[in-house]
Amino acid sequence: MSFILDKVSHRYSQGTAYEITALDNVNLKINDGEFIGIIGHTGSGKSTLVQHLNGLLKATEGAIYYNGQDIYDKDYDLRDLRTQVGMVFQYPEHQLFEETVFADVCFGPKNQGLPEKDCTLRAFEALRSVGLPEKYYYASPFELSGGQKRRAAIAGVLAMKPAVLILDEPTAGLDPKGRDEILDLIAETHAHYGNTVILVSHSMEDVAKYVDRIIVMNQGSVMLDGAPRDVFHHYKELEEIGLAAPQVTYLMHEMREAGMDVSTEPTTVDEAKDAILRMLGRK
Amino acid sequence: MLRDITLGQYYPADSVIHKLDPRTKLFGTLLFIISVFSFDGLLGFGVITLFMFGIIYLSKVPLSFMVRGLRAIVILLLIAGALNLFLTPGQPLITLWKIVITKEGVRNASLMTVRMIYLIMGTSVMTLTTTPNQLTDGLEKSLRPLSKIHVPVHEIAMMMSIALRFIPILIEETDKIMKAQMARGADFESGGLIKKAKNMVPLLVPLFVSAFRRANDLALAMEARCYVGGDGRTKMKPLVYEKRDVGAYAVVIVYFVIVVLVKSLL
């Protein structure tokens, strides 16, 4: 059991004319090793939610427990929590600052207090796993292209080997190829280390392919929570809040309505292919 | 965190003061400041107190917002008050060992304190009821005559409004980068002065980079819309005086005359 959120609410600018409720009474349980997608419209509170998980934001009400410990306890070391819960922000390339990519990736491990040798080792490992060509390791991060900067920045968090990895819209502003590469990379690290991964996104298509649990946020509270196929059953409700199920879900539902004997379960193109072949084979 | 800082602290409300032309408010604030620094005696104090609280009441902005602005100058107030209190020569009132408090000292200290408090509260009525854009518009139009002697009034106003517009953006950006680096274990709080300054590098470098990037984008966007400076440029919402502005001018001038009269009569 890694995270328990108990009635967590968050209000920005509390007590002023600009008060906004970003989170409203959120209850969640996140288990070790899960691959979770958090989905919601812009302003639904998803980014606010994940920033609570490593203590960057403090809930105005409610409590959060990590491995059974209250993270708002006076004696709790938030810096230690942050080394265990890695967070890749939106447009992470904007946080690069060192003279070389390599030094920047070392920043996280160094802050963890690891000896020089381990930092170097981890940086190499992380840079290799994000697939950045070796010739860029000692280049200035500002000379890299957008996609490569993003890889370097993600490596900076991976190098800390977090037990929980949170990614806030890691594919924003990337082309389809870059997007698939980044998501594949995340899935690979998850398969390899078995760490908990929380992927924040507004694209169902992205999320459906990788995660095994989806949390849908709407206006600061959790609207749906479950396996992708269960969540996509509610595709009409999803549409009402400005989201959409993957396109194959629509296809399967329409085929069903047209009287074809197919399952409406598939959420990815591959699953849909299998289902249709099965139907055709039965005929 | 940083999101809670309110700079250029406009407080939206539907009041007479909000609707006034920014030029009227600028002029009124100017006269108010002059009156605050010229009044004398209890009667004058009564007049400006009545006027200021009347305006605050009309503006529908909670008094706590004006008081909040005072927190920044508490230390300044204390120092100025103490210096005036202890160091003004004159008729001794209380003598404690070497510390002498004079009658003039008490008078100067209380005058000074009241003046500074009223200065801050009075000007915050203006900033709380006027958006930064309105304010620069008002300044631009009030200073227009200066362009005859080649003062680049429009350019100055444009720079001001861009600078003001960028304050919240940069605050947000700072907040974001700070969080991102804290997530990587950066520490912005502990350590001595030199260590603290060193720890700011991961924050300042990305901040500068992003400020330049934004400035570049903005310049490009302005050029793409054929911005060439102030000549021949029209406004979407030109400033026009209305009846209430005439009334406001009258009220402010009458108030000022009263303050001057009270001062010269006593």
| Segment A245-268, tens digit of pLDDT | 888 888 888 888 888 888 888 888
pLDDT digit string, tens, across residues A146-203: 888 999 999 999 999 999 999 998 888 888 888 888 899 889 889 988 899 999 987 7
Please state, rounded to an integer, the average pLDDT across all residues of chain A.
Answer: 88
Structure confidence by residue, pLDDT tens digits, B246-265: 999 999 999 999 988 888 87
Task: Take residue B244 and report the two structure tokens written for it.
Answer: 């209430």
Query: A37 and chain B: CB distance < 8 Å anywhere?
Result: no
- Confidence bin at B2 (pLDDT 50/70/90): very low
In B, minimum Cα distance to A88 occurs at B180
Largest CA distance in chain B: 73
Residue A62 has pLDDT above 50, yes or no: yes
Chain A closest CA to B186's CA: distance in Å?
A: 6
Tell me the C-alpha distance between A31 and A3, whole Å.
Answer: 7
Answer for the pair A62, A123: CB distance below 8 angstroms, yes or no.
Answer: no
Instruction: Provide the token pair at B136.
Output: 């620069």
ipTM: 0.84
Residue B5 has pLDDT above 50, yes or no: no
Phi, psi angles (nearest 5°) of residue A194: 65, 25
Which residue in chain A has the smallest CA separation from B173?
A: A94
**Out of A16, A18, A107, closest to residue B184 by CB:** A107
Q: What is the pLDDT of residue B135?
A: 86
Q: Please give the distance of CA B93 from its chain centroid, rounded to a whole number.
A: 37
- A107 and B179: CB-CB below 8 Å? no
Indicate whether A282 pLDDT > 80: no
CB contact under 8 Å between A97 and B201, yes or no, is yes
Name the percent of chain A lying above pLDDT 90: 34
B184:A51 CB<8 A: no
| pLDDT over 80 at A73, yes or no | yes
Residue B204 in this model has a pLDDT that exceeds 50? yes
As a whole-number percent, the residues of chain A with pLDDT over 70 amount to: 98
Q: Tell me the sheet residues that pair with A23.
A: A10
Q: Is the minimum CB–CB distance between A76 and chain B shorter than 8 Å? A: no
Chain B residues near residue A112 by CB distance under 8 angstroms: 185
Higher local confidence (pLDDT), A114 or B93: A114
Contacts of A96 in chain B (CB under 8 A): 206
For tokens 């990519």, what's the residue?
Answer: A101
What is the Cα A264 distance to its own chain's centre? 26
List pLDDT tens digits, range A83-106. Answer: 889 999 988 888 899 999 999 999
Q: Is the pLDDT of residue B6 over 60?
A: no
Residues of B in contact with A95 (CB under 8 A): 177, 180-181, 184, 202, 206
Among A5, A7, A47, A44, smallest CA distance to A25 is for A7
Q: Is the pLDDT of residue B170 over 50?
A: yes
- Rounded to an integer, what distance in angstroms lies between the CA atom of residue B12 and that of residue B26? 18
**Residue B8: pLDDT above 60?**
no
b/e per residue B218-227 (b: at least 16 CB within 10 A): eeeeeeeeee
Query: E strands of B46-115, at which residues?
Result: 92-96, 99-102
Domain limits of chain B?
8-132+234-266, 150-233
pLDDT band at B1 (very low <50, low <70, confident <90, very high): very low
- Token pair for B204: 């300042």
